[in-house]
């Protein structure tokens, strides 16, 4: 009896406390659910993003003004909505729509940002389709994507000759566009069996005031870190895609005529077919992009900006020394070790000024010869870039290896900026 009374007393005493605690818990749950609705409902952020993107497009199409704050607001809001509910096909699809909408509110010159937005939007669209599939089909799709990616890595490594025809076909027609876009083509077979010559790109920039200057990439002294310099080397690979060597008779005749008109002979030790290398379509487009970037960057490098009239572009290959040459103490940075190919002269918009230039895509020789005064370097590259007055009679090393040195050109090292 006493035990039952104590139990009832404890219940009576605990009752008000339990009620109070229930009320407090109820209030807390209401507040939590209120805040949870803000951070768990993606639709306010998504609608805000779509609205901001739509307003940006409307203003740009009517006035030509880019509303950068609205663009950022639209993209940020769409990103927040996707972060709240990343597995929703509807949210992913509307996020893709927002990204594609933003592309219509960008200036034509903002091509890099536009491409970035297209890639992000396309990724969101593909994700929306995948998330709408049943789980089994979704797993199969993801597995196929992973297998395709790994197959691309293998094709990049196994497509080097000698290689099976199937591996070369897969690399050329299936995987190469994908790997180049994802920038996954570098270094899979760089050291097998031997590394090739280093590629560089030199720009001779001419200003409207008559001055000119060289700009060269990459340069070790411009990069504080070795890995940064290696990344700059990868830039030059973009213009090193070449067509199969061939020399049409018409091109050969124009080159022979240029010996007399331009004063630029061919290289005496290299076959003429090897001296004429036409870039691929992708490399030509990259040359135009490089020319636009360099002319804009150098024009705004000083205050006030200087107006650039044109830029000449040269693709160079830095040849390795032979073991005996290295033992003889020859400088690995000697100028005559650079094989320079003329890539054309471009305006500030990246347009090739003279597609019929007789020296276009040809090697501009840098030759070392021996003389009574020691080794002499004949730097026809500098002559061509600066448009120096050609000698009255230039020898043709293709038919006659005898060649005269450019007066005053006795420097055996690559010039330093």
Q: Show me where the domains of the chain are located.
A: 43-131, 135-182, 198-386
Give the distance between the most distant pair of CA atoms in the chain.
131
Distances in whole angstroms, Cα of residue 174 to Cα of each of 149, 171, 284: 11, 6, 22
For residue 255, give every residue at least 6 positions away whose Cβ sits within 8 Å of its Cβ, in sequence order, or none.
266, 272, 276, 358, 359, 362
* Segment holding 84, helix H or strand E: helix 68-84
Q: Report the DSSP pairing between strands 308-318 and 338-346.
A: antiparallel
Which residue is associated with the tokens 């990616």?
Answer: 149
Please tell me the predicted confidence (pLDDT) of residue 13.
39
For residue 52, give every residue at least 6 positions away whose Cβ sits within 8 Å of its Cβ, in sequence order, or none.
70, 71, 73, 74, 77
Q: Which residue has the higher pLDDT, 160 or 51?
A: 51
pLDDT, tens digit (0-9, with 9 covering 90-100), for 266-299: 888 888 888 999 999 989 999 999 999 999 988 8
Please tell me the predicted confidence (pLDDT) of residue 102.
94
For residue 250, give every residue at least 6 positions away whose Cβ sits within 8 Å of its Cβ, in sequence order, or none.
none
The 3-state DSSP class for residue 338 equals strand
What's the chain's length in residues?
A: 417
Give the whole-angstrom CA distance, residue 181 versus residue 307: 33
Please tell me the predicted confidence (pLDDT) of residue 143.
95
Please choose, from the candidates 402, 404, 397, the residue with its C-alpha nearest in 3D space to the C-alpha of residue 272. Answer: 397
Most confident of 29-38, 126-135, 230-239, 397-406: 126-135
Please tell me the predicted confidence (pLDDT) of residue 400.
39
Task: Average the pLDDT over each of 171-180, 234-243, 267-276, 388-397 and give the range with the smallest value.
Answer: 388-397
Q: Are 377 and 411 in contact (CB under 8 A)?
A: yes
Give the whole-angstrom CA distance, residue 32 versus residue 10: 32
Whether the predicted pLDDT of 6 surpasses 50: no
pLDDT, tens digit (0-9, with 9 covering 90-100), for 305-354: 889 999 999 999 988 888 888 888 888 888 889 999 999 999 999 999 99
Give the whole-angstrom CA distance, residue 113 versus residue 106: 8
Task: Average the pLDDT over each of 12-21, 196-205, 227-236 and give the range with the smallest value.
Answer: 12-21
The order of strands in the sheet holding 363-364 is: 212-217, 198-207, 308-318, 338-346, 363-364
DSSP result, 122-178:
HHHHHHHHHHTS-HHHHHHHHHHHHHHHHHHHHHHHH-SSS--HHHHHHIIIIIHHH
Q: Which residue has the higher pLDDT, 377 or 402?
A: 377
Whether the predicted pLDDT of 193 surpasses 70: no
Provide the whole-model pTM: 0.56
Give the whole-angstrom CA distance, residue 295 versus residue 285: 16
* Segment holding 58, helix H or strand E: helix 43-63
Whether the predicted pLDDT of 407 surpasses 50: no
Please state the rounded mean pLDDT for residues 395-401.
40
Q: Are 123 and 131 in contact (CB under 8 A)?
A: no
Count other C-beta atoms under 10 Å from residue 339's C-beta.
21
Which residue is associated with the tokens 């080097």?
Answer: 160
Whether the predicted pLDDT of 95 surpasses 50: yes
């Amino acid at each position: 009896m006493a035990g039952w009374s104590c139990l009832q007393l404890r219940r009576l005493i605990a009752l008000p406390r339990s009620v109070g605690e229930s009320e407090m818990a109820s209030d807390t749950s209401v507040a939590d659910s209120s805040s949870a609705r803000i951070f768990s409902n993606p639709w306010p952020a998504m609608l805000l993003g779509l609205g901001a993107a739509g307003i940006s497009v409307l203003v740009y199409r009517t006035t030509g003004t880019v509303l950068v704050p609205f663009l950022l607001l639209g993209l940020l809001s769409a990103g927040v909505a996707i972060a709240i509910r990343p597995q929703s096909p509807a949210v992913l699809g509307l996020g893709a729509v927002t990204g594609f909408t933003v592309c219509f509110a960008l200036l034509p010159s903002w091509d890099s940002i536009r491409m970035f937005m297209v890639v992000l939007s396309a990724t969101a669209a593909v994700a929306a389709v995948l998330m709408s599939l049943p789980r089994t089909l979704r797993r199969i799709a993801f597995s196929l994507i992973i297998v395709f990616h790994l197959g691309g890595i293998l094709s990049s490594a196994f497509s080097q000759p000698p290689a099976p025809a199937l591996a070369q076909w897969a690399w050329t027609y299936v995987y190469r566009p994908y790997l180049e876009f994802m920038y996954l083509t570098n270094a899979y077979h760089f050291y097998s069996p031997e590394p090739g010559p280093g590629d560089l790109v030199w720009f001779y920039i001419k200003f409207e005031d008559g001055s000119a200057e060289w700009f060269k990439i990459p340069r070790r002294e411009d990069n504080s870190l070795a890995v940064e310099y290696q990344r700059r080397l990868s830039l030059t690979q973009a213009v090193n895609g070449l067509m199969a060597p061939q020399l049409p008779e018409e091109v050969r005749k124009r080159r022979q005529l240029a010996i007399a008109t331009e004063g630029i002979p061919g290289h005496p030790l290299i076959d003429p077919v090897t001296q004429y290398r036409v870039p691929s379509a992708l490399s030509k487009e990259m040359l135009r992009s490089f020319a636009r970037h360099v002319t804009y960057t150098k024009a705004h490098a000083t205050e006030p900006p200087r107006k650039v009239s044109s830029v000449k572009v040269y693709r160079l290959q830095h040849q390795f020394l032979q073991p005996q040459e290295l033992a003889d103490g020859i400088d690995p940075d000697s100028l005559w070790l650079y094989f320079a190919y003329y890539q054309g002269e471009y305006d500030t918009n990246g347009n090739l000024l003279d597609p019929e230039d007789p020296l276009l895509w040809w090697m501009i020789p840098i030759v070392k010869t021996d003389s009574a005064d020691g080794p002499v370097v004949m730097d026809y590259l500098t002559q061509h870039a600066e448009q120096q007055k050609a000698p009255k009679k230039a020898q043709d090393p293709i038919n006659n290896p005898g060649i005269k040195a450019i007066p005053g050109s006795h420097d055996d090292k690559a010039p330093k900026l």
